[in-house]
């Protein structure tokens, strides 16, 4: 009897080890192969600057209330409170020690599009790599080149404040299996270059869905609810629905949306408010053509 129990226990331990190893293998960090980032040439800094503003880097990584050139000091921004704990945006200035100045293009690109840190660790999706995964390698290269021209800061941002089990990064591999994809969020007529560009900007660098799409209990987007509005993760109010059928911008024309992104004024001459203030400042830096592309996309997506 004792021998049978020992065999049973040994078998269960063996199965547990095999299962654990299989889970680790399937969910381990998966950066791109090195050649994914090769042959991109010298960065186009002008395009890199446009991608920088489209990506909203300032909104999370600059000090709260920064204005003018101070917005370009990416020393780490305000805390992001969530149901999983409080996240702190790191220093991503070109400082070699406190920031990412010592990183390579491949390390930067893998963080942006695969959620893999410089040391091979999973990154938390409070950093919107689930959206940035759609970004073209050329744009990543151009963005990287532009960011290396920005001011350095030696400030060290605080670490995340996460309770167990959310402080266990291993589980993020499972999250990525469920939710990390570079596929389009919705179907639009990408034979129209304007719509294709708008989809790229909104679903990729613009990461609009990160705030405007509701999430499930695991923090992934609710299927079929793209840009349908969501609770404010900080607990105050609600992020609006921005689909064509919404009460917020559903009645606006594409020109109205583009103008709002440029000026911060609604068709009723109300002004932008809340967290959208920082977003609008970024959108105002884009070309008129890109703002028009974003507006065209927002008028073309499914009504919710």
Say whether domain 184-304 belongs to CATH 1.25.40. no
The answer to whether residue 20 scores a pLDDT higher than 80 is no
pLDDT at residue 122 tops 80: yes
Q: Can you tell me which residue has the tokens 């704990």?
A: 85
Q: What percent of the chain has pLDDT over 70?
A: 90
Give the count of alpha carbons within 13 A of 96, CB side only.
Answer: 1
Q: What is the pLDDT of residue 9?
A: 47
- pLDDT for 228-250, tens place per residue? 999 987 677 899 999 998 989 99
- Which of 229, 206, 185, 187 has its CA nearest to residue 290? 206
> Could you please report the per-residue DSSP string of 76-119?
----EEETTEEE-PPP-SS-TTTSSTT--HHHHHHHHHH-B-TT
Calculated CA dihedral for residues 93, 95, 100, 102, nearest 10 degrees: 150
| pLDDT at residue number 5 | 58
What is the rounded average pLDDT of the residues 186-204? 96
Rg of the chain over Cα atoms, rounded to whole angstroms, equals 21
Reported as a single tens digit per residue, the pLDDT across 88-108 is: 999 999 999 999 999 999 999
Average of per-residue pLDDT across 273-289: 93
Q: Is the pLDDT of residue 123 over 80?
A: yes
Percent of the chain with pLDDT over 90: 73
Query: Which residue shows structure tokens 């050329």?
Result: 138
Reported as a pLDDT band with limits 50, 70 and 90, residue 155 is: very high
Between 166 and 115, the higher pLDDT residue: 115
User: What mean pLDDT value characterizes the chain?
Assistant: 90
Model confidence at 48, pLDDT cuts 50, 70, 90, reads very high
Spatial contact of 213 and 228, defined as CB atoms under 8 Å apart: yes
- pLDDT tens by residue, 174-190: 999 999 999 999 999 98
Query: Quick one: pLDDT at residue 81?
Result: 87
pTM over 0.85: yes
Q: Which residue has the higher pLDDT, 19 or 180?
A: 180
Cα gap 152→75, rounded to integer Å: 8
């Amino acid at each position: 009897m004792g021998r049978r129990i020992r065999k049973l226990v040994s078998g269960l331990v063996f199965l547990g080890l095999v299962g654990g190893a299989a889970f680790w293998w399937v969910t381990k960090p998966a950066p791109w192969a090195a050649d994914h980032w090769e042959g991109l040439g010298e960065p186009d800094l002008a395009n890199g600057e446009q991608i920088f503003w489209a990506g909203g880097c300032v909104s999370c990584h600059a000090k709260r209330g920064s204005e003018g050139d101070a917005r370009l000091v990416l020393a780490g921004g305000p805390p992001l409170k969530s149901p999983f704990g409080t996240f702190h945006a790191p220093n991503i200035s070109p400082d070699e020690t406190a920031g990412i100045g010592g990183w390579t293009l491949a390390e930067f690109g893998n963080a942006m599009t695969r959620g893999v840190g410089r040391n091979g660790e999973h990154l938390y999706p409070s950093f919107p790599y689930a959206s940035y995964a759609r970004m073209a390698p050329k744009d990543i290269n151009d963005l990287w080149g532009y960011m290396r021209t920005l001011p350095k800061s030696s400030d060290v941002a605080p670490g995340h404040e996460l309770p167990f089990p959310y402080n266990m990064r291993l589980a993020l591999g499972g999250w990525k299996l469920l939710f990390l994809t570079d596929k389009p969020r919705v179907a639009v007529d990408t034979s129209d270059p304007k719509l294709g560009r708008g989809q790229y900007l909104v679903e990729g660098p613009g990461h609009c869905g990160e705030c405007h799409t509701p999430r499930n209990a695991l923090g992934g987007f609710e299927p079929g609810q793209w840009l349908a509005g969501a609770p404010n993760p900080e607990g105050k109010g609600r992020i609006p629905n921005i689909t064509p059928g919404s009460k917020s911008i559903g009645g606006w024309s594409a020109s109205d949306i583009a103008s709002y992104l440029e000026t911060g004024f609604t068709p009723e001459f109300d002004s932008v408010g809340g967290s959208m203030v920082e977003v609008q400042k970024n959108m105002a830096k884009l070309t008129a053509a890109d703002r028009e592309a974003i507006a065209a996309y927002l008028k073309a997506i499914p009504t919710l």
